[in-house]
Structure 1
Amino acid sequence: YAAEWAALANGTAVRELDFHDTFLAADYSHPGDNIPPILAAAQQAGKGGRELIRGLATGYEIQVDLVRGICLHEHKIDHVAHLGPSAAAGIGTLLDLDVETIYQAIGQALHTTTATRQSRKGEISSWKAFAPAFAGKMAIEAVDRAMRGEGAPSPIWEGEDGVIAWLLSGPGHEYTVPLPAEGEEKRAILDTYTKEHSAEYQSQAPIDLARSMGERLAAEGRDLADVESIVLHTSHHTHYVIGTGSNDPQKFDPKASRETLDHSIMYIFAVALEDRSWHHERSYAPERANRPETIELWHKISTVEDPEWTRRYHSSDPNEKAFGARAVITFKDGSVVEDELAVADAHPLGARPFAREQYIEKFRTLCEGVVSREEQDRFLAAVQDLENLTDLAELNIELDEDVLAKAPTVGEGLF
């Protein structure tokens, strides 16, 4: 095994489709990014399923708690800065390391994975997927160095020239990170959300809203060519990150990268409204993005921040916390059609909450044309008995040779 390189490769693959989980609070995160590095370390060390579960529980807990307590994006720091420390902590739990070693590993991981959030602004490249994978790789290397006795910059967050003083809110500022008490259950993973659709999480409810509104308009005989404008009233985060508040012209460019389009709620809403569906590949295909009627509709869509949606976004009450929007569609004849959706259909409070059946269906959808049915069944049996697994190599999925032969290749590099 080469755990660090496995973490980089698998972490990039996990992140590429923007199709795994999310946690949103003071900042953003995709806690599933912890899985590739912690799993790679577990396989390297010959650990079993129970140890892996413990490591993942810590990784999720630390990242979710950091996201609750420290806002990075207001200082234009990428949310991956919360991932390096969480992955290092998770690996420390997995390996049952002492507190001092884990502390030093966390410090090193934060120091080497903190960067600006330009990776998800303007023309977004595949580095959006590589960035969290790189953080996972750095976390593994940090743990390895700490185990060998190497220290870290300390204190890395609150030091005189630390992260808080010069990258966040400045010297003297105090953050409160709600960590569980000693012996308290690590339950943060239960506060994360899965995605039914391959797009930024703030797009999930708007996609479902667009699908239902598309059905309604079709039933009423409405023609989308007659739309004058569409305004999405939504939260601060949605407006400024994936909406027109970002001031990114690339979000309206049909030649933009897939990574840019999955951060454009204007594009996403237009396609979902027209197709009344969403697919992780077809909805982003160049031929789909370049349809003249889609471009025309897409450019009629804008977002505005609504204080009520922002309040609900940050609410601590799970029954009112929402990541949705209200869509106001104005037609050229002056008529208006509007509707809203607070949470995605797949949300626990949504119209069709995800359960085990839906997770399995999502897995099989991603395996279409790539993984044989027999191999899918073998993996599902193994992963659903994770706590009893003694050989984590059973979680490695094998592809047929003909599938690998068709895989794209990249040019040669330095090594």
Structure 2
Amino acid sequence: MRQYDITVHPESDRLPRDAQLAWQIAEVAADPVAILPDVTEMIINRVIDNASVAIASVNRHTVVSARAEALAHARPGGATLFGCGPEVRVHAEWAAWANGTAVRELDFHDTFLAAEYSHPGDNIPAILAVAQQCGRSGAELVRGIATGYEIQIDLVRAICLHKHKIDHVAHLGPSVAAGIGTLLGLPTETIYQSIQHALHVTTATRQSRKGEISSWKAYAPAHAGKMAVEAVDRAMLGETSPSPIYEGEDGVIAWMLDGKGAHYRVALPEAGEAKRAILDSYTKEHSAEYQSQALIDLAFRLGADVRASGRNWDDVKDILIETSHHTHYVIGTGSNDPQKFDPDASRETLDHSIMYIVAVALQDGAWHHVRSYAPERAQRADTVRLWRKIHTVEDPKWTARYHADNPAIKAFGGRITITFTDGTRLDGELAVANAHPLGATPWTRPDYIRKFRVLTEGILPPTEIERFLDAAQRLPSLRADQLRQLEITLPPEALKATDRTGIFNFPA
């Protein structure tokens, strides 16, 4: 990897184009390096993973609305929509919108955490949509996805956005643009312009993840993907974009991030170096914020111990979670969000409340993407009492492990201490989730397939489940005319349609 020192440059000392971060990213995207076999296998895993959560959410209100908007933008030879079958085609940017929303809705796909947060699987819907519309093969799609993961993860390692209340999709717009550039084999100049455009229009605030969290949380990465498709299209037509978007005196770093004195060290692959960052990311076994994954597994264990002891949950006086800065301030009591203790809160809020998540995991010893968030579950009186006894604190040890560069040290867990009314305690700690590559039961292909089967059971016919899994596992050998096989077909009567009228579906 090559290190780049990124700083702000005034117009009087304008940074040469080939020294700009957007250009360096574009050069990585344009570099036709071979894809490593283990990277290809992981990309297949994540295509399966995305599809599983997209189908599980296919009839949720947010996804139904996004799909309705996409269906209003039909295009022969366009891209497919999850659930609609291979014959339904829409413009690629709208497929990116609808499918990206479906993938993100349940907060149940992959993650990478470092200086910033990310869900790099968010790259896949937009890149796949463009591949379908532009007649690219499975092998070309794999190359594009590898670039998307590489660029987003490299940016997430180096540049913190949330410190300045900028949403993490600001790293996703450039990575999707870069991935599409690789997919289409575009020249460096075109990719460079598209990256700058994509960043310029995806720098949103983090209010989308604060307090009462709305349905926009699912739309946010889909919006970034849609913007990236439009950015690449515009660049392909010969248009230019704000430059230098990162280092300019009125650019993103100067006015949205660390300011004019900023120094960021960004590592990117050297020329000829394989793109392997996807191997450093990790998926979710449980439908909740990634920083809760290890704590859910730990809560299962501690909850079993409480039940085995014959105690009940009203015997609990206090529960302390010692964890990292990010966990404490984003999903813990350090956020100072009263909504995280509200039994009537939205699902989007509850899946960002570690207090709620640990309470339910302790009591149930299991986690379900629907039942664990049902209103009747959140409002259960004994759960509410337990929930409100839980608080978090930052432990510098866990913060240091969160930010560690060494994968063997890097961790997103914490320590839970349960204090009972008689003064006795039960505690334990877990560094990484069971499904993590270094966890107790690291996930491999059969686990992704099992997740797909579990999440699609009762939604898809068995024949469609098997057909999709077969196609996904043949991804590198799929011809351009076979990429539509990565779509999934629900029986028409099983696919909900919106009963509301908006602008796009307004009757002619």
Normalising by structure 1, what TM-score?
Answer: 0.99
Corresponding residue to 1:188 among 277, 280, 290: 277
Corresponding residue to 1:18 among 90, 96, 107: 107
1:393 counterpart letter in structure 2? R
1:402 corresponds to which residue?
Answer: 493
Cα deviation 1:98-121 (Å, max 9, x = unaligned): 000000000000001111111000
2:464 equivalent to 1:375 = yes
1:292 counterpart letter in structure 2? A
Corresponding residue to 1:179 among 268, 277, 280: 268
2-structure distance, mates of 1:41, 1:401 = 25
1:62 corresponds to which residue?
Answer: 151
2:333 equivalent to 1:217 = no
1:386 corresponds to which residue?
Answer: 475
- Give the superposed CA RMSD: 0.7
1:147 corresponds to which residue?
Answer: 236
2:31 equivalent to 1:31 = no
Number of residue equivalences: 413
3-state DSSP of counterpart to 2:267:
coil
2-structure distance, mates of 1:350, 1:12 = 29
2:442 equivalent to 1:353 = yes
Cα deviation 1:215-242 (Å, max 9, x = unaligned): 1111111211110010000000000000
More off after superposition, 167-176 vs 71-80: 167-176
2:277 equivalent to 1:202 = no
1-structure distance, mates of 2:264, 2:140 = 31
Corresponding residue to 2:366 among 259, 265, 277: 277
1-structure distance, mates of 2:498, 2:393 = 42
2-structure distance, mates of 1:195, 1:84 = 23
* Matching of residues 112-127 of structure 1 within 5 Å: 112-127=201-216
More off after superposition, 81-90 vs 221-230: 221-230
Q: 1:410 to 1:257 in 2, by over 3 A?
A: farther
2:486 counterpart letter in structure 1? L
Corresponding residue to 2:412 among 323, 336, 340: 323
1:411 corresponds to which residue?
Answer: 500
Cα deviation 1:275-311 (Å, max 9, x = unaligned): 0000011000011001000000000000000000001
2-structure distance, mates of 1:293, 1:94 = 52
3-state DSSP of counterpart to 1:189:
helix
Q: 1:408 to 1:330 in 2, by over 3 A?
A: farther
1:100 corresponds to which residue?
Answer: 189
Unpaired runs of at least 5, structure 2: 1-77, 79-90
3-state DSSP of counterpart to 1:213:
helix
Corresponding residue to 2:451 among 343, 349, 362: 362
2:29 corresponds to which residue?
Answer: none
2:135 equivalent to 1:78 = no
Normalising by structure 2, what TM-score?
Answer: 0.81
1-structure distance, mates of 2:368, 2:277 = 29
- Per-residue deviation at 1:384? 0.4
1-structure distance, mates of 2:429, 2:201 = 42
1:266 corresponds to which residue?
Answer: 355
Cα deviation 1:246-295 (Å, max 9, x = unaligned): 00000000110000000000000000000000001100001100100000
2-structure distance, mates of 1:129, 1:72 = 19
2-structure distance, mates of 1:54, 1:275 = 42
3-state DSSP of counterpart to 2:436:
coil
1-structure distance, mates of 2:323, 2:303 = 19
Greater RCO (Cα-Cα under 8 Å, separation 6 or more): 2
- Per-residue deviation at 1:147? 0.2
1:299 corresponds to which residue?
Answer: 388
Report sequence identity in percent.
70
